[in-house]
Structure 1
Amino acid sequence: MTMRTIDRMKAGFRSFKAAYYDQRPERVAHLVESGQEPEVLLIACSDSRADPAILMNAEPGDMFIVRNVANLIPPYQPDDQYHGTSAALEYGVRDLKVRDVVILGHSGCGGIQALVQGAIGGVTAPDREFIGPWMEIASCCSGHGPDVDAVSRQSVRNSLTNLLTFPFVKSGVESGYLQIHGWWFDMKEGALWRYVEENDRFEKVEG
């Protein structure tokens, strides 16, 4: 009988506990006593196939991670609405004082696919209350045709632009303290690409 995913997760926690709490107690003690001091804030998609901690072989404490549908950054909009991604961005930059902010997109993104289908075929989902308004953040990218991955990469560039509408991000970049990065993961090829502003294109990260 195949083990259910929820049961594998419980077994996985036991493996994690053995690897860190039993074998590296000093590392755990440091994280508990000193608090988190990540250098990187990473905004990734909620897609279950593209877990940033696994992709980057990161350890606890390495990255402050924000995940949402299609790894979007909304523009700066201070009001009394709910802004989970913006709140995490503010906390990471202003309080944790991260040195790098990374937007990590990926191929085959379902959120971007929904955006493309809606833009081209007029597909709507009247029974969905939240995903439509959320994907409007990237609506300016839908004009890049039916190629979901091309729109996904353009969306990363758009989110980089939106990042700079936040005053605390812009001032950090201008001072040289903070750097922002646009990355894109090709799941089929197992390749990582980075956006190079000088060339206005994505270039493969050799590894």
Structure 2
Amino acid sequence: MQHAKPLPSYLVQRYQGWKATTYKENESWYRHLAESGQHPRAMVISCCDSRVHVTSIFGADQGEFFIHRNIANLVPPYKPDGLQHGTSAAVEYAVNALKVAHVIVLGHSNCGGVQGCFDMCSGHAPELEEKTSFVGRWMDILRPGYERVKEIEPLEARRGALERQAVLVSLENLMTFPFVEAAVKSGKLSLHGLWTDIGEGSLEYFDVDRGAFGRV
């Protein structure tokens, strides 16, 4: 591969610092993880957004979470069409191979992907309507959520509602996977919907009984 280059110096320095401190102080734990394999209790589906740091929010150690990240923390509907489905493959592996007990969908404030869906569905992002737009076609997953909140006023509240719809649509789509549905109905798996405000550091969960999000 002719276009791959060495790491930037600042990343090399950070790695060397980690190896000399964090790794050195916990070397036996890292070796244990390498030898015993992974046994995470939960899968977390979160956004690619660099500001969302799942392990920091929950104070998690290595090996504790099986984490999958994509634009706007979306899960597509079950569709075994022989094509490539990264998110679906991650869900299948987590549930069938790792036997996780929980699948958590974590949305967040100021989500650029959700904003893209908002703009596209309201006719302000024609570039995302193009068939060649990977982001646009991915955000089609959230169109049903937009239809539910498109009348909400004011505008800012509508955006926030759509961010939470990204969580709910994903939870709904998870239940279209036969192996997820079977695990949930048997009590072996539970699904959880969360939304975090980056600036405030707050966390909300979807309360099924209330049909709304509430503070953790």
- TM-score greater than 0.5 by the shorter chain: yes
Give the AA of the match of 1:40. Answer: A
**For residue 159 of structure 2, what is the aligned residue in structure 1?**
148
Which deviations, in whole Å up to 9, do the C-alpha atoms of 1:139-190 show, x marking residues without a partner? 1111313422210101211110111111111111111111110000111211
1:130 aligns with 2:141: no
**For residue 108 of structure 1, what is the aligned residue in structure 2?**
110
Separation in 2, partners of 1:166, 1:22? 42
The size of the alignment, in residue pairs, is 201
Does the CA contact (< 8 Å) of 1:20 and 1:28 recur in 2? Answer: no
1:171 equivalent among 160, 176, 182: 182
Give the AA of the match of 2:141. Answer: I
**For residue 29 of structure 2, what is the aligned residue in structure 1?**
27
Give the AA of the match of 2:176. Answer: T
Give me the TM-score of the superposition, normalised by structure 1. 0.91
Structure 1: stretches of 5+ with no match in the other structure:
none
**For residue 89 of structure 1, what is the aligned residue in structure 2?**
91
Separation in 2, partners of 1:168, 1:19? 42
SS where residue 41 of structure 1 aligns?
strand
Change (3 A) 1:119 1:129: closer
Give the AA of the match of 1:134. Answer: W
2:197 equivalent among 171, 186, 189: 186
Does the CA contact (< 8 Å) of 1:73 and 1:85 recur in 2? Answer: yes
Which deviations, in whole Å up to 9, do the C-alpha atoms of 1:6-39 show, x marking residues without a partner? 5443333233323443111221111111111111
Percent identical across equivalent pairs? 41
Give me the TM-score of the superposition, normalised by structure 2. 0.87
Does the CA contact (< 8 Å) of 1:109 and 1:149 recur in 2? Answer: no
Structure 2: stretches of 5+ with no match in the other structure:
1-6
Does the CA contact (< 8 Å) of 2:131 and 2:137 recur in 1? Answer: no
1:79 Cα shift? Answer: 1.4
**For residue 204 of structure 1, what is the aligned residue in structure 2?**
215
SS where residue 94 of structure 2 aligns?
helix
Separation in 2, partners of 1:77, 1:27? 39
- Measured on the aligned residues, the alpha-carbon RMSD in Å equals 1.7
Give the AA of the match of 2:120. Answer: G
**For residue 3 of structure 2, what is the aligned residue in structure 1?**
none
**For residue 159 of structure 1, what is the aligned residue in structure 2?**
170
Does the CA contact (< 8 Å) of 1:44 and 1:70 recur in 2? Answer: yes
Separation in 2, partners of 1:128, 1:14? 41
SS where residue 168 of structure 1 aligns?
helix
Give the AA of the match of 1:137. Answer: I
